[in-house]
Structure 1
């Protein structure tokens, strides 16, 4: 699909026109299905790491099941789901820009809209961090919308040049700082922490956490923008050959690139600290390919499904349509289950138990999302709030 960097120059539509949520019947299956599945990866990765985060003792590795779970997370989950998350955000933000431009909205109006959305995402993310969870990414994506809205008007060549520059520099910078950052978090995770102290500590991580996460998020975010210009997920039939290559080579690259990290995590390979950083960087860099490969594979699955929507696919799509709400619901579960001032089960989790817990929490959010759909709610409460804060109260027609 050809791309132009100059917005439509005609007069903008009247305020409030065409600003409603896209009707469910007009939504493409692949993006929603990808978001729903992506939340499973996010949940299992988080839960698998809670024992490490709350005790600092490393993985349990207590038997073959734990070892298999830890190796599988390194090969298929850790730093593989997150790039898909960031790419889908870029894809969605670019979709807003393209739709509003097609309506005739001028760039200053659209830029203001995207930045307003970004500011409210930062607000939601900070509240999420303060009240629930230390690993929030909503604020990170809000900052991307604030800092990088102008890339939506870049030419493809300029967009990809920036993307790969960020991939090289950002992933290396993250690899160099990640070990010290998470080691500090583990050292602070003792059993005597109170809810108030935990909240303060979570907020104190933000000045370092945000730059680190932005550093590894810009590349997949920009690739998501590039993909949205070509409607790779909305029109998988047209791009079937490309999607097949991305799925095959992306997932294969991620698995091969994750082998050294998996061997380190299951303690079959003891390497020096510089080697640990180098292999973690390899794990991170190949994880981008894995995230893109997962998105491509899900697009191919959506293409094969066509108009068939069984109860499982419908529920997964409903989860993707309410991905922010479901992401926050996961954090509510973690806040109840993990901290020492709550149920405090984090230190008791084995590696396989953590993965199973993550899958169970994800499944509960799928059920919740499908119940919202059945009840007639087109959005989750978080999506409704963000849309209201971004667009304002919808105009009321008077007859």
Structure 2
């Protein structure tokens, strides 16, 4: 790809602090904690979903919380925000006088470089990369969705109504499977990932090259979640959350209710408090997965309501928002941390319980990234990954 700079009149410079809306940055910064809780557990257990199959004591609670609020529920938030960001970027370029063709060129270059970032990330650090999938979905959205009218974008609302009906149908199947459960009780076990259990970095790299394409293909379907973010951004819902309080309340209640109720049965199995056969566990796992996408709009709406109620930007809010402004750097920093702290061929930390280790490391790494991002914001420094991406695009 060419990295020749566009003429200065054809694009806007970096977003200034005064221009930034609080809600998107706060959402991205806070939700990196949930991403960390999910991915650190995958590293620690060398598989997915990253839970102790025979939990005891506090491990039961950790499994319950992780499966109810985190797994398959964190990444849809970033899918919503990715769609939101596409519209924000296009709007800023148009406001600076860029033509439709120039805006499309900028977005396509950005998406292309995201694919490249994702390939490097997945090859060198972690197979469960989402950057490449974002790049692919971004190209599709740029070419097919962004320049459509409001009537066309209402289609996505109908799709989400259908998704609600599908979750209800899946829930009925899961309940039926539980009622008909007759075999021996099956625990929730981790599906192994060879790259996470590899004994050397070289072995892990080869394994990641095999795992990454399948993982990326499996998550491209979240284009419908991205499209919902595009719809919300066209209405500037997060720029003016107080104006859209009623809508945000409905979405938060509906989205989080669906995602929590859909994930709770599997969480009870993971905690060792619900005993069903293997067929029922599989059915509950699928219900947890399909209901998890509603965590995207649910969490986004919840944070929108929080921002609408904030009277001032406290220090914690500023620090977490600073991380949100540098979410790409924060995301990549996490993968470096997991590799250094948890891989079998590096420090391979063990704090007495794998579940405790994963949770504590995730919290610690997130706090370090928050502090680092806040320090950069005090110096008016962009994140290193964001700086590189901008140079490559422009």
> What is the TM-score normalised by the length of structure 1?
0.84
CA displacement, residues 310-368 of structure 1 (integer Å, 9 cap, x when unaligned): 21111011000000001111111101011111112379643233222211111110011
Q: 2:217 aligns with which of 211, 225, 231?
A: 211
Structure 1 residue 283 corresponds to structure 2 residue 288: yes
Residues 61 and 351, structure 1, Cα contact 8 Å, conserved in 2:
no
What's the CA shift for 1:148?
A: 2.5
Q: Distance in 2 between matches of 1:92 and 1:28?
A: 11
Partner of 1:186: 193
Residues 30 and 299, structure 1, Cα contact 8 Å, conserved in 2:
yes
Residues 60 and 351, structure 1, Cα contact 8 Å, conserved in 2:
no
Q: Distance in 2 between matches of 1:69 and 1:270?
A: 18
Q: Distance in 2 between matches of 1:68 and 1:78?
A: 14
Q: Distance in 2 between matches of 1:60 and 1:375?
A: 46
Q: Distance in 2 between matches of 1:199 and 1:223?
A: 35
SS at match of 1:367: helix
Residues 42 and 49, structure 2, Cα contact 8 Å, conserved in 1:
no
Residues 29 and 321, structure 2, Cα contact 8 Å, conserved in 1:
yes
Q: 2:40 aligns with which of 27, 42, 47?
A: 47
1:198-237 correspondence to structure 2 within 5 Å: 198-215=204-221, 217-237=222-242
Structure 1 residue 19 corresponds to structure 2 residue 12: yes
CA displacement, residues 129-154 of structure 1 (integer Å, 9 cap, x when unaligned): 12211211111111111222121123
Structure 1 residue 384 corresponds to structure 2 residue 387: yes
Partner of 2:26: 33
Gaps in structure 2 of 5+ consecutive residues: 1-5, 168-188
Residues 265 and 284, structure 2, Cα contact 8 Å, conserved in 1:
yes
What's the CA shift for 1:14?
A: 6.3
CA displacement, residues 209-239 of structure 1 (integer Å, 9 cap, x when unaligned): 1110112x21210100000001111011110
Partner of 1:158: 152
Q: Distance in 2 between matches of 1:88 and 1:144?
A: 13
Residues 11 and 98, structure 2, Cα contact 8 Å, conserved in 1:
no
Q: Distance in 1 between matches of 2:339 and 2:111?
A: 25
SS at match of 2:138: helix
Residues 9 and 97, structure 2, Cα contact 8 Å, conserved in 1:
no
Structure 1 residue 304 corresponds to structure 2 residue 309: yes
The CA RMSD over aligned residues, in Å, is 2.7
Q: Distance in 2 between matches of 1:346 and 1:121?
A: 34
Q: Distance in 2 between matches of 1:287 and 1:14?
A: 43
What's the CA shift for 1:158?
A: 3.5
Gaps in structure 1 of 5+ consecutive residues: 1-12, 173-181, 392-399
Q: Distance in 2 between matches of 1:164 and 1:28?
A: 28
